[in-house]
Amino acid sequence: MSTHAFEPKILVFSTNIISDPGIDQAGMSHINYPSSSRILRVPCSSMIRPEFIIHAFESGFDAVFIAADGGDCPYLSDCSVRTARNVQRASEMMKENGIDQSRLRMAGICSVCSDAFAKGVKSLYDITKGLGPVRSEGHDRAS
Amino acid sequence: MKCRQEFKLTEGKKERIGVYVCHCGGNISDYVDVKKVVEEIKKGEPNAIIVKDLMFDCADASQSEMIEDIKAQKLDRVVVAACSPKLHEATFRNMAKRADLNPYMLYHADIREQSSWAHEGDMEGATSKALAHVRAAIAYVKSAEPLEKIKSETTHSVLIIGGGIAGLRAAIDLSRMGVNVMLVERSPALGGHVAELGEIYPYYTSGPEIVKGLVDELKGRDNVAIYTNATVMSYSGYLGKFEVKVKVTHRQPGSEYSEITLHVGSIIVATGFDTYRPPKGEYGYGTVKGVVTLPDLVKALGDGSKELIYEGRRIREMAFIYCVGSRQKPPEDGGHANLYCSRYCCNAATSQALTIHRRFNNVKIYHLYRDMRTYGRNELMYEDAAKGGSIFIRFDEDHPPLVAEDGDRCRVTFWSSLIENQPVDILVDLVVLVTGMEPRQNEELNRTLSLPAGSDGFYKEIHPKLRPVETNITGVLISGTAQAPRDVRETLSSASAAAAKAASFVLKNELELDPFVAFVNPQACEAHQECIKECPYGAIELVEELGKKARVTSAKCKGCGACVAVCPTGAIQLKGYTNMEIKSMIEELAR
């Protein structure tokens, strides 16, 4: 094991119109959250293919946070239901691949939900820190 | 021959990328080692022909520099790493256009809101995050393809929701510009709150006069349709082509209501505010006789009587208590509070005092305030009120005045820092609570429109300086007090601003929409039809002639990408967010 303290890498999926502005708001309010997070924006959380989430773990992310549109989605009134269903599929795929399912989290983050976002990412960070790196779970990256 | 082909292939594959990392004055470079980001990219990305750090990427000179680089170095892809793309993505896409580069060959990476500002004090962390975001952006542009905006015809009409002074003003402006206006008002009458008020600052015009002036201007205009007793039921569509269903309630017996469908190119939301209603007992409201709110007083003063009498009581001495329902302390239990200043109230109360001084002899007025915010020219009203006999006394937030009944008068006890916080009692005939504005309770409409609101509950613009009347929903604009507490003057100018913006949309014959719509790779499509079931807009169909393949109608596609997630083969993807683009970004972000 490395002597360096383990810093969980977290991929955040945000949405252009709703949760990305909420995450911006966290920065604008100088609310800190783990800097080992990386943010990737898409139009709507309902478009996140389970395969993208698995790809993130395969690429070396230790956790994935879906900052979903929640009830504010400008496209779909049932966006949360759809996103949750896709996230559920990803979670099942994680199980099949031997990845701890608590490494994946989804939360509705509105365009001003900066606190909820920071808290959510921090708590996922803490959980992941306890679990250790994703590669320690015997997951074969080369597959 | 073969050689030449191969040569061409490799030549065609080599991207020529320009990368521009912004300091944003110091907003970014104070916490992100911008020079290091530039060095790392130079080291690791041979296809990045130009890698620069600029003091302000958005400055005119910087944009000119980028255009020169693109032309001189034949750059075919550009990455801008700067503030949030919500601020300047459009700016840089326009820059690309001016350089004859397809604007969608540019990616705007956020290294300010999501790096430097979020991780101040952690320069190493912020820098490595910024670097990852820039690398991901490079990966994106490498697989990006030129896209063309989707052209859509516009409907030359605008729906205005709300028939208060903001809605009326916007209707007049639009009508004059030759735009068809449909105005929907929930109540039976036009004019909103203002129609019920007495004299309003500045210039002491009465509320009904202001409303009459506006309504008279609208009368006889053949491109304006006004629906009162009408509410918005549902809406669909997009900028240039909204379809709105409106329920109009009839007063005649027989037909209860009818439903109409309006086709408009843009929507202005001018739904106004609610007056703060103090809970029973706040400063004696509802428990002590003679305690009223500011709007109650203004309505009472509208009757033109010679003497100041309120509910049978002759008023000789009165007190205004300011900041009622505004600038509240957040409750310890985390409950709701109005933290904001309502902006209009100091001015409104001071102007009412002036009206009283002018109209009635010998009325003594005490003003118990926390901070007097008669900003701008309104300061003159404050001066005049003081000269006219008003007495201004400051109280501390932690020591608010007490109001109690004392015979047939009100006893107000206050503590002033000027007299060493000794309690002082005054007896008055009327206590006026200077109440603020609250966001209008409009749950049904909020659900229908799902407009973003700020933490204060008022509708929120995209950016207070750059896009002050636009919302997250392109084509839906906000104005007046639905957006923030405002006085009459400010409300009217924001209504005119929204009208001008709406006109700028609908007066074009053709609108250009972002090209981020779904498309199908027919080779990969196996006709599972999951996408067709998933799409709520009916934008996807199975086409037999194509050999049973799904096909997207771009004009119907809203670009959510819900279909992308459910396709078993990855055949349906979103332009601008292809599976390849997303996956290559994930890989770079994970480095």
The chain A residue lying nearest B579, using CA atoms, is: A52
Among B395, B420, B436, give the residue marking a domain's end: B436
Instruction: Kindly report each contact of residues B65-68 with a partner whose C-beta sits within 8 Å and lies 24 or more positions away, as own/partner.
Output: B66/B18, B66/B20, B66/B95, B66/B99, B67/B95, B67/B98, B67/B99
Work out the angle between the directed axes of helices B60-72 and B85-98 (0-180°, nearest 10).
Answer: 50
pLDDT number for residue B7: 40
Q: What is the pLDDT of residues B442-496, one digit of tens each?
A: 888 988 887 777 778 899 887 777 789 998 777 999 999 999 999 999 999 999 9
Q: What is the pLDDT of residues B118-134, one digit of tens each?
A: 999 999 999 999 999 99
* Within a domain: B98: yes
The verdict on a CB contact (< 8 Å) between A82 and B452 is no
Q: What is the DSSP letter of B116?
A: I
Q: Which residue has the higher pLDDT, B428 or B304?
A: B428
pLDDT above 90 for B251: no
* Within a domain: B582: no
The verdict on a CB contact (< 8 Å) between A17 and B579 is no
Q: How far apart are CA B31 and CA B114, in angstroms?
A: 12
pLDDT number for residue B578: 97
pLDDT above 60 for B12: no
Confidence of residue B13 (pLDDT cuts 50, 70, 90): low
Among B510, B537, B565, give the residue marking a domain's end: B510
Place of tokens 């509410």: B231
The verdict on a CB contact (< 8 Å) between A112 and B84 is no
The verdict on a CB contact (< 8 Å) between B579 and A24 is no
Nearest by CB to residue A76, choosing from B86, B119, B536, is B536
Q: Distances from the Cα of B511 to the Cαs of B91, B190, B372, B481, in angstroms?
A: 18, 32, 47, 29
pLDDT above 90 for B504: yes
Residue B19 shares a structural domain with residue B92: yes
Confidence of residue A138 (pLDDT cuts 50, 70, 90): low
Structural domain harbouring B341: 276-436
Contacts of A8 in chain B (CB under 8 A): none
* Within a domain: B584: no
> H or E stretch including B123?
helix B123-143
Nearest by CB to residue A32, choosing from B112, B119, B582, is B119
Confidence of residue B369 (pLDDT cuts 50, 70, 90): very high
Residue B171 shares a structural domain with residue B240: yes
Report the pLDDT averaged over residues A90-115.
94
The chain A residue lying nearest B450, using CA atoms, is: A72
The alpha carbon of residue B59 is apart from the nearest alpha carbon of chain A, in Å, by 21
Question: Does any CB of chain A come closer than 8 Å to the CB of residue B117?
Answer: yes
- Most A CBs within 10 A among B24, B114, B450, hence the mutation to make, goes to B114
What tokens appear for B499 in the block? 């009208």
Q: How far apart are CA B257 and CA B271, in angstroms?
A: 22
The verdict on a CB contact (< 8 Å) between A75 and B577 is no
Question: What pTM, to 2 d.p., does this model score?
Answer: 0.72
Residue B175 shares a structural domain with residue B122: no
* Within a domain: B586: no
Nearest by CB to residue B454, choosing from A43, A71, A112, is A112
- Most A CBs within 10 A among B560, B564, B580, hence the mutation to make, goes to B560
- Give the count of alpha carbons within 13 A of A120, CB side only: 25
Confidence of residue B286 (pLDDT cuts 50, 70, 90): very high
- Most B CBs within 10 A among A11, A30, A47, A135, hence the mutation to make, goes to A47
pLDDT number for residue B472: 72
Q: How far apart are CA B532 and CA B540, in angstroms?
A: 5
Size of interface A-B (CB pairs under 8 A): 147
Residue B36 is part of a domain; what is its CATH number? 3.40.50
Residue B292 shares a structural domain with residue B432: yes
Per-residue b/e over B324-334, b at no fewer than 16 CB within 10 Å?
Answer: bbbbbeeeeee
Residue B80 shares a structural domain with residue B179: no
> H or E stretch including A114?
helix A114-131
Nearest by CB to residue A74, choosing from B119, B473, B536, is B473
* Within a domain: B583: no
Q: How far apart are CA B176 and CA B158, in angstroms?
A: 13
The verdict on a CB contact (< 8 Å) between B574 and A82 is no
**Looking at B155-159, B275-279, B296-300, B313-317, which range is the least confident one?**
B296-300
**Residue-averaged pLDDT of chain A:** 91
Among B108, B131, B149, give the residue marking a domain's end: B149
Neighbours of A134 (CB within 10 A): 24
pLDDT above 70 for B302: yes
Residues whose CB is less than 8 angstroms from the CB of residue B401 and which lie 6 or more positions away in sequence, other chains included: B283, B319, B321, B368, B395, B412, B413, B414, B415
Contacts of B136 in chain A (CB under 8 A): 38, 40
* DSSP-assigned states of every residue in B276-339: --PPTTGGGTTTSTTEEEHHHHHHHGGG--SS-EETTEE-SEEEEEEEETSSPPPPTT------
Nearest by CB to residue A40, choosing from B122, B574, B589, is B589
The alpha carbon of residue B113 is apart from the nearest alpha carbon of chain A, in Å, by 5
* Within a domain: B475: yes
Report the pLDDT averaged over residues B142-167.
94
Residue B553 is part of a domain; what is its CATH number? 3.30.70.20
pLDDT above 50 for A108: yes
Please count the residues of chain B. 591
pLDDT above 60 for B1: no
Contacts of B561 in chain A (CB under 8 A): 42-44, 46-47
The chain B residue lying nearest A57, using CA atoms, is: B590
**Looking at B298-307, B327-336, B569-578, which range is the least confident one?**
B298-307
Report the pLDDT averaged over residues B412-436.
92
Neighbouring-strand partners of residue B161: B184, B269
The alpha carbon of residue B85 is apart from the nearest alpha carbon of chain A, in Å, by 9
Residue B531 shares a structural domain with residue B453: no
What tokens appear for B455 in the block? 């933490």
Percent of chain B with pLDDT over 70: 97
Residue B348 shares a structural domain with residue B417: yes
Question: How many domains is chain B partitioned into structurally?
Answer: 4
Among residues B41, B110, B44, B50, which one has the least CA distance to residue B77? B50
**Looking at A16-25, B242-251, B463-472, B494-503, which range is the least confident one?**
B463-472
Q: What is the pLDDT of residues A19-73, one digit of tens each?
A: 999 999 999 988 999 999 999 999 999 999 999 999 999 999 999 999 998 877 7
* Within a domain: B506: yes
The CATH class of the A10-137 domain is: alpha beta
Q: How far apart are CA B536 and CA B518, in angstroms?
A: 13
From the centroid of its chain, how far is CA B352? Answer: 31
Q: Distances from the Cα of B55 to the Cαs of B20, B30, B81, in angstroms?
A: 10, 12, 12
Residue B88 shares a structural domain with residue B236: no
Phi and psi angles of residue B157, each rounded to the nearest 5 degrees, phi first: -145, 160
Residues 415-454 of B with CB under 8 A from A: 450, 452-454
Nearest by CB to residue B560, choosing from A38, A59, A76, is A76
Q: Distances from the Cα of B390 to the Cαs of A27, B297, B300, B354, B357, in angstroms?
A: 46, 17, 20, 9, 8
pLDDT number for residue A142: 42
- Most B CBs within 10 A among A12, A33, A44, hence the mutation to make, goes to A44
**Residue-averaged pLDDT of chain B:** 92
Q: What is the pLDDT of residues B42-55, one digit of tens each?
A: 999 999 999 999 99
Contacts of A48 in chain B (CB under 8 A): 565
Instruction: Please state the domain extents for chain A.
Output: 10-137
Alpha-helical (H) ranges within B144-223 are 165-176, 207-218
Neighbouring-strand partners of residue B300: none
The chain A residue lying nearest B562, using CA atoms, is: A47
Q: What is the DSSP letter of B567?
A: -
The alpha carbon of residue B508 is apart from the nearest alpha carbon of chain A, in Å, by 24
Residue B281 shares a structural domain with residue B338: yes
Q: Which residue has the higher pLDDT, B574 or A69?
A: B574
